């Protein structure tokens, strides 16, 4: 029966081609949509995930990492007073403008961190070291910004404008993998430099976040609860809680997640419809052949095996081609500034969904064969 299934499948090359096109379309669109979504969520939580801290203290009702609000920096002293705290650091986050060589202005996301510890700073460097921003007007830019900012040369001077205050900074390093959800360039500098040179009297003495490392990470929940009581005007999150809050905001509250997953679901349904239609058409075309097999003693399960095997083989071939197309197009997508994450688990889940959808679509043909009367073979 398996031999028969393969022979019938590859004999009808036109139908097979149509089936594969539908499956490839479903596979590529699903992988790309979900991969881009995962990439966006990865960007939105990149600083939080790569900062070696157990607890994040933010201003009240901050929905995610990007939408921060300043609060008095002296509150860090209350945090450091707890015996369970190993260290606590301040992180500045603000949006400002970078003046380009041609006179244009490009919005950037500035992150101020302590260069002595590196907490909150770049976690992967293409050139230079995080500590290089210490002691002057120095910045580190992420190399992903080249497409929007142009050539990034170490030692070049860049003018940053914040609150109508302009300050020249020297580029001393290039980071890697530091991207924001909004895709605007990420720039790192010293916390003190950002606090005094750029924030000025507007927000000097405030901070965007306080990050906390505990002596015993197993006490994270209890310490977080204590900090919530000590800092009623702040929100206190464990690292995972802050990641989840950020992802939930972009996914649910903005509707972005629904848009991506709805497109992926539609892609799977369209592919399943194409598979179901082509396999059903093939079943109708070979109805007399199936009737002959039943007249010769073949059981319904034998005929079902032929049909379902055709659907499964089509699913595997289409998925394999779709994966190759996705991987081939990934570089072009990321070159355009769109991040993609394609973990192995995603391939496994999409494969299972594609195969299940194709088998479900073939069930229409299975039902048709079940009611087939073998006597029809002897009729004109």
What's the number of domains the chain is made of? 2
Residue 365 belongs to some domain of the structure: yes
| Same-domain pairing of 130 and 208 | yes
The residue among 232, 264, 285 that closes a domain is 232
| Same-domain pairing of 67 and 128 | yes
Question: pLDDT class for 377, splitting at 50, 70, 90?
Answer: very low
Top-confidence residue, 262 or 224: 224
Mutual angle of helices 300-335 and 13-44, in 10-degree steps: 50
If you average pLDDT over residues 126-143, what whole number do you get? Answer: 91
If you average pLDDT over residues 100-126, what whole number do you get? Answer: 89
| Same-domain pairing of 72 and 30 | no
Residue 54 belongs to some domain of the structure: no
| Same-domain pairing of 73 and 162 | yes
If you average pLDDT over residues 234-257, what whole number do you get? Answer: 90
The residue among 182, 198, 232 that closes a domain is 232
| Same-domain pairing of 89 and 34 | no
| Same-domain pairing of 107 and 172 | yes
If you average pLDDT over residues 282-292, what whole number do you get? Answer: 60
Please check the confidence at residue 6 and state whether its pLDDT lies above 60: no
pTM here? 0.79
Please check the confidence at residue 10 and state whether its pLDDT lies above 60: no
Residue 247 belongs to some domain of the structure: no
| Same-domain pairing of 31 and 160 | no
Question: pLDDT class for 17, splitting at 50, 70, 90?
Answer: confident
Residue 88 belongs to some domain of the structure: yes
Comparing 164-173, 182-191, 283-292, the range with the smallest average pLDDT is 283-292
Question: 361 is in which domain, residue-wise?
Answer: 2-43+255-378
Residue 96 belongs to some domain of the structure: yes
If you average pLDDT over residues 214-233, what whole number do you get? Answer: 93
Question: pLDDT class for 378, splitting at 50, 70, 90?
Answer: very low
| Same-domain pairing of 182 and 104 | yes
Residue 33 belongs to some domain of the structure: yes
pLDDT more than 70, % of the chain: 82
| Same-domain pairing of 215 and 263 | no
| Same-domain pairing of 264 and 122 | no
Residue 78 belongs to some domain of the structure: yes
């Amino acid at each position: 029966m398996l031999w028969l299934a393969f022979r019938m499948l590859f004999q009808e090359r036109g139908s097979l081609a149509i089936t594969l096109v539908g499956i490839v379309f479903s596979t590529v669109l699903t992988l790309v949509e979900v991969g881009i979504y995962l990439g966006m969520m990865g960007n939105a939580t990149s600083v939080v995930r790569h900062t070696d801290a157990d607890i994040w203290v933010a201003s009240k009702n901050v929905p995610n990492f990007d939408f921060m609000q300043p609060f008095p920096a002296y509150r860090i002293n209350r945090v450091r007073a707890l015996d369970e705290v190993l260290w606590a650091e301040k992180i500045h986050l603000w949006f400002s403008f970078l003046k380009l060589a041609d006179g244009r202005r490009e919005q950037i996301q500035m992150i101020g961190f302590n260069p002595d510890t590196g907490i909150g700073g770049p976690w992967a460097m293409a050139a230079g070291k995080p500590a290089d921003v210490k002691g002057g007007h120095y910045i580190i830019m992420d190399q992903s910004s080249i497409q929007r900012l142009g050539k990034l040369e170490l030692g070049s001077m860049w003018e940053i404008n914040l609150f109508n205050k302009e300050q020249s900074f020297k580029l001393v390093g290039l980071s890697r993998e530091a991207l924001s959800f909004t895709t605007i360039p990420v720039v790192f500098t010293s916390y003190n430099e950002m606090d005094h040179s750029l924030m000025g009297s507007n927000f000097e003495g405030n901070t965007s976040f306080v990050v906390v490392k505990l002596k015993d990470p197993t006490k994270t929940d209890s310490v977080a609860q204590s900090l919530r009581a000590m800092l009623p005007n702040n929100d206190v999150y464990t690292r995972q809680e802050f990641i989840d809050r950020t992802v939930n905001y972009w996914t649910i509250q903005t509707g972005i997640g629904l848009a991506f997953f709805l497109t992926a679901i539609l892609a799977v349904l369209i592919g399943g419809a194409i598979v179901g239609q082509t396999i059903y058409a093939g079943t109708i075309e070979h109805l007399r052949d199936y009737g002959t097999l039943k007249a010769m003693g073949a059981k319904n399960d034998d005929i079902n095996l032929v049909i379902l095997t055709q659907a499964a083989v089509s699913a595997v071939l289409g998925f394999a081609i779709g994966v190759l197309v996705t991987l081939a197009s990934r570089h072009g997508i990321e070159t355009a500034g769109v991040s993609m994450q394609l973990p192995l688990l995603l391939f496994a889940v999409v494969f299972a969904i594609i195969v299940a959808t194709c088998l479900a679509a073939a069930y229409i043909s299975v039902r048709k064969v079940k009611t087939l009367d073998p006597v029809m073979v002897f009729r004109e």
